[in-house]
């Protein structure tokens, strides 16, 4: 029998599940060697019932010290970009591909990303986001290997991910990279500006699927300026 959840209860259930998952992560010290060198676990934070999930690479020094994602200068830029589209951090969920800081902020190794994957997978299963936004190359590669971030940023890509089913992605640049390459800021702003429209479309799609079992064609979606009327369906 299908369990009916009253409106408003679903977010409580998801937040409860996320809390339990966090406790599981905290007590698991053996996932990979990063757990031994971290100061704090950085599991991710935000609304477990969010429509949009941002995924970064891994915690930096400040995040490691405080156990919270994106609280340094890249986080400040992320918060500003969210505010520019009328979102607050509590409206979204922010996670990382690895939950513990790689020493000296080096890139996470493939085996560390692999070891941490079950946690991210469970977070996605709980949240069931309409849209996943990988921030930067490392986060993108976990889902969309062999793609170039400069080529696919701002594009809406549907992909069947093993263990997760079909997910919708819009990769964009990592805010930390944009702090080094200020000339990319306009691209990041452009990509963020599309988010509300994309979510509107995806929400309508989910509702349509629930009622009629059909989906609204991607080509019916208009995002941004005229140049971008046609969306690419790459998968
Ligand atoms: N960069 C990331 O990728 N994640 C954080 O949490 C902070 C900086």
pLDDT tens column, 113-129: 999 999 999 999 999 99
pLDDT in tens, 42-94: 999 999 999 999 999 999 999 999 999 999 999 999 999 999 999 999 999 99
| 212/194 Cα distance (integer angstroms) | 27
| 148/153 Cα distance (integer angstroms) | 8
Q: How confident is the model at residue 1 (pLDDT cuts 50, 70, 90)?
A: very low
State if residue 46 touches ligand 1 by the CB under 6 angstroms criterion. Answer: no
Ligand 1 atom nearest residue 136's Cα: 3
Round to the nearest angstrom and report the end-to-end CA distance of the chain: 34
Q: From 70, 93, 149, 175, give the residue whose CB has the most ligand 1 atoms within 8 Å, as the site to mutate.
A: 70
State if residue 45 touches ligand 1 by the CB under 6 angstroms criterion. Answer: no
User: Domain residues of the chain, as ranges?
Assistant: 29-194
44 sits in the region (left: phi over 0; alpha: psi -120 to 50; else beta) called left
- Work out whether the CA dihedral 167, 226, 137, 145 comes out positive or negative: positive
| 49/233 Cα distance (integer angstroms) | 26
CA 108–ligand 1 middle distance (angstroms): 12
Ligand 1 atom nearest residue 74's Cα: 8
pLDDT in tens, 150-188: 999 999 999 999 989 999 999 999 999 999 999 999 999
State if residue 70 touches ligand 1 by the CB under 6 angstroms criterion. Answer: yes
What residue spans of 33-184 are helical by DSSP H?
Answer: 34-37, 61-66, 73-84, 110-127, 136-143, 149-152, 175-180
At 211 the pLDDT is 76
Please give the structure tokens belonging to residue 63.
């995040």
DSSP assignment of 209-230 equals HHHHS----GGG---SSGGG-S
Q: Which CATH architecture has domain 29-194?
A: 3-Layer(aba) Sandwich (3.40)
> How many percent of the chain have pLDDT more than 90?
76
At 29 the pLDDT is 75
At 205 the pLDDT is 84
| 48/56 Cα distance (integer angstroms) | 17
At 216 the pLDDT is 60
DSSP assignment of 196-212 equals HHHHHHHHHHHHHHHHH
Let me know: does 127 contact 93? Beta carbons within 8 Å.
yes
Mean pLDDT of 127-144: 96
- SS3 assignment, position 96: strand
Mean pLDDT of 221-230: 43
Residue 59: how many CB atoms within 10 A of its CB? 31
State if residue 108 touches ligand 1 by the CB under 6 angstroms criterion. Answer: no
Q: From 96, 97, 149, 180, give the residue whose CB has the most ligand 1 atoms within 8 Å, as the site to mutate.
A: 96
State if residue 56 touches ligand 1 by the CB under 6 angstroms criterion. Answer: yes
Cα three-residue angle 206-209-210, rounded to 5 degrees: 90
- Of residues 21, 17, 67, the one with CA closest to residue 41: 67
Let me know: does 99 contact 59? Beta carbons within 8 Å.
yes
């Amino acid at each position: 029998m299908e369990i009916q959840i009253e409106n408003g209860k679903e977010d409580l259930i998801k937040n409860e599940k996320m809390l339990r998952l966090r406790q599981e992560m905290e007590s698991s010290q053996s996932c990979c060697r990063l757990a031994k060198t971290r100061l704090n676990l950085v599991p991710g934070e935000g609304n477990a019932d969010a429509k949009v999930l941002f995924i970064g690479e891994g915690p930096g020094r400040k995040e490691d010290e405080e156990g919270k994602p994106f609280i340094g200068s890249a986080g400040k830029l992320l918060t500003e970009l969210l505010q520019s589209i009328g979102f607050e951090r509590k409206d979204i969920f922010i996670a990382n591909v690895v939950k513990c800081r790689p020493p000296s902020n080096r890139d996470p190794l493939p085996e560390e990303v692999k070891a941490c994957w079950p946690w991210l997978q469970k977070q996605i299963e709980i949240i069931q986001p309409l849209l996943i936004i990988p921030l930067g190359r490392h986060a993108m590669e976990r889902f969309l290997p062999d793609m170039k971030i400069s080529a696919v940023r701002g594009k809406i890509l549907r992909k069947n991910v093993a263990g997760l089913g079909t997910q919708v992605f819009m990769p964009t640049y990592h805010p930390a990279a944009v702090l080094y390459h200020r000339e990319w800021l306009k691209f990041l702003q452009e990509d963020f500006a599309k988010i509300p429209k994309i979510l509107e479309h995806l929400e309508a799609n989910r509702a349509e699927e629930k009622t009629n079992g059909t989906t609204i064609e991607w080509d019916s979606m208009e995002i941004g300026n005229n140049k971008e009327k046609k969306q690419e369906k790459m998968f």
